[in-house]
Each structure stands twice: as structure tokens, then as C-alpha cells.
Amino acid sequence: MEVLACAVITAGIVMMLQPFAFVLYTWSFLTTLFGTVMFLVVSKFPE
């Protein structure tokens, strides 16, 4: 699950840095925020 959260964060950063689609830029902050919150929650799960 942590790997999935890291992938969501990475996708949000890539969406933020791409110059092609404004709609991806618009959703990039929420995607990165969701991935960060997901990582914080998932990192508390026991192994």
C-alpha cells in the first residue's frame, strides 16, 4: 500500500510539471495531497 501511495504522489508531481493539459495541472495538487494523506495513513498499518 505504501508503494501505491508513493505512485499517487509521483503521478501528482508529474501532472504538475507537464506542459500539455491544463486539466491535469488543475487536479495535480489534489492528487498529490491525496497521495500524501494516503501515505500517512497507510504507514501506520502494522506489517
pLDDT score of 47: 76
On the 0-12 / 13-18 / 19+ scale of CB atoms within 10 A, 7 is exposed
d(CA 28, CA 14): 8
Task: Please tell me whether residue 44 adopts helix, strand or coil conformation.
Answer: coil
**Cell matching residue 26:** 488543475
**3-45: per-residue pLDDT in tens?**
999 999 999 999 999 999 999 999 999 999 999 999 999 999 8
Q: Domain boundaries in the chain?
A: 2-42
pLDDT score of 46: 85
pLDDT score of 34: 97
pLDDT score of 7: 98
pLDDT score of 5: 96
